[in-house]
Amino acid sequence: MAKKLEIIQLGNPILRETAAPVAVVEDKSLQNLIKALIQITVQHQGVGIAAPQVSQSLRLMVIASHPTPRYPQAPLLEPTAMINPRLTAQGEAKEKSWEGCLSIPGIRGLVPRYTEIFIEYTNVNNQICHQKLTGFIARIFQHEYDHLNGIVFLDRVENTKEMITELEYRKLFS
């Protein structure tokens, strides 16, 4: 039986590595990893997760936007696996908004992100997909894409005064 995947936390060196490209999309272990990532995201009320967050240094992420206690205004998007994703272009506008991370529990930060991006990725059926993402979905993509490049959201916070605990965040924004 396969070992159950666990979310690693800040300090684990895998979170600071550049993830390796996925070579074979049809590989059964990759397909099982995708299913596990979707399950973990749902179980932890996340809106996305990248493979490095479960100690798998691969260029794979899942976006699964839906309203949660942490993101009550999140739009609904069926879980989407993105294999070897690339950010191909972005608009000029950026917006700061609060982010948290399953690998950095208990802390949030104001992070500037592009509000409009253009991406390319391979889907689970080995098809190349091109999309324009905006707003919160674009933010999720950029957050998870950073994980594939060894970057965490705290690296993007411009001022430590723009960090807050989850408890204080909930008091302010619930």
Structural tokens at position 76: 């609904």
Determine which helix (DSSP H) or strand (DSSP E) holds 131, and give its type and residue range: strand 128-134
Active-site choice (78, 95, 99, 144): 144
Whole-angstrom distance, CA of residue 49 vs CA of residue 52:
9
* 144 annotated active-site: yes
Which residue type is seen at 20? A
- Report the chain's terminal Cα–Cα distance, integer Å: 41
Cα–chain-centroid distance for residue 127?
21
Could you list the active site residues? 144
